Amino acid sequence: MGERIPMELAAYERRVRSGDCFICAFLRGDPGAEHELLYDDGVHVAFLNRYPTLRGYALVVPRRHVTDVVRDLTSTEYLALQAVVHTVASAINQVVPTERTYLLSLGSMQGNAHVHWHIAPLDPGVPYEQQQYHALMAENGILPHTAGEVAELGAAIRKALTA
């Protein structure tokens, strides 16, 4: 999985529990809310996670601010969202060596309420005790990355999406 650096968890929690929706802020183009965009079909957007615990970790979201994946989406909307998750995950797997791809929806009405799906590609060879939730937990650190590395990874994933 590579070296990890500590994450400022208390500051992150304060921001997501008391601040504006980070996804809506990103979609509006608010300064400081930028993410590396991977995909946009006008209804859904995918972008790289700002705090990755795995290389290629991305989020897929509906553009519309919805907070409950069951109550706020029709089955047609849900299946369309899942199709985007699969498409983006497939492209990530073409770019990032992956033993297993974790797909999950996280968030809470108390923070990160905007429905979002995580695509988390597990590196090959990670010891079992460092897989699954351990690999996803920012409490175990996040991957260091530069803006250039993020842009390069984003470009490679966008290229795989158009191939």
What tens digit of pLDDT does each residue of 80-119 get? 999 999 999 999 999 999 999 999 999 989 989 999 999 9
Asked if residue 3 has pLDDT above 90, the reply is no
Asked if residue 19 has pLDDT above 90, the reply is no
pLDDT of residue 51: 95
CA dihedral 23, 43, 85, 160 (to 10 degrees): -100
Question: Each residue of 126-143: pLDDT tens digit?
Answer: 999 999 999 999 999 999
Q: What is the mean pLDDT of residues 63-88?
A: 97
Residue 154 near residue 36 (C-beta atoms within 8 A): yes
Q: Would you say domain 9-162 falls under CATH 3.40.50.300?
A: no
Q: What is the mean pLDDT of residues 142-159?
A: 97
79 CB neighbour count, 10 Å cutoff: 10
- The Cα–Cα gap between 12 and 75 comes to 32
6 CB neighbour count, 10 Å cutoff: 10
Q: What is the mean pLDDT of residues 71-78?
A: 97
CA nearest to 55, candidates 135, 133, 155, 113 = 135
Residue 17 phi, psi dihedral angles, 5° rounding: -90, -25
